[in-house]
């Protein structure tokens, strides 16, 4: 039998608020190389290119199955390379919350960047960040 789970808006908002709390003061790090199979898989030959930091309260309250991030502190690219994915850590910088794809507009990534070519010394900012759960 096929799975056919549908979560109410209340359920999605509750889950998002719980997940969003893990992002408080968390760190979003862009990496080069092949994205691991899942967020629990150790990095293997991936190079850290740049890190951005979420605020003490990373997201506003979820509504209608989405939550929007508060201000995220910019980061400076430390190592040049091609960004292929990002890993988001709790505030301790080691406990992984999730991985997400990184690419340019049109390729439907999780994080859209103007270019995947990251050059050392360039400041990276994030102007918008929303997490959502489908119904």
pLDDT in tens, 38-77: 999 999 999 999 999 999 999 999 999 999 999 999 999 9
Structure tokens at 103: 């690419």
Closest CA relative to residue 126, chosen from 56, 59, 67, 54: 54
> Is position 40 within any domain?
yes
> Is position 4 within any domain?
no
- The total number of structural domains in the chain stands at 1
Residue 74: domain span: 9-132
pLDDT in tens, 87-122: 999 999 999 999 999 999 888 899 999 999 999 999
Cβ within 8 Å of residue 39, ≥6 positions away: 87, 96, 97, 98, 99
> Is position 23 within any domain?
yes
């Amino acid at each position: 039998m096929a799975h056919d789970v549908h979560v109410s808006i209340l359920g999605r908002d509750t889950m998002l608020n719980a997940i969003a709390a893990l992002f408080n003061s968390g760190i979003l790090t862009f990496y080069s190389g092949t994205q691991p199979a899942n967020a629990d898989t150790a990095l293997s030959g991936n190079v850290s290119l740049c890190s951005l930091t979420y605020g003490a309260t990373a997201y506003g309250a979820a509504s209608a199955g989405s939550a929007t991030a508060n201000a995220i502190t910019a980061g400076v690219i430390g190592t040049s390379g091609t960004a292929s994915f990002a890993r988001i850590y709790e505030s301790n910088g080691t406990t992984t919350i999730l991985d997400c794809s990184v690419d340019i507009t049109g390729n439907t990534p999780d994080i859209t960047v103007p270019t995947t070519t990251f050059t050392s010394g360039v400041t990276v900012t994030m102007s918008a960040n929303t997490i959502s759960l489908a119904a």
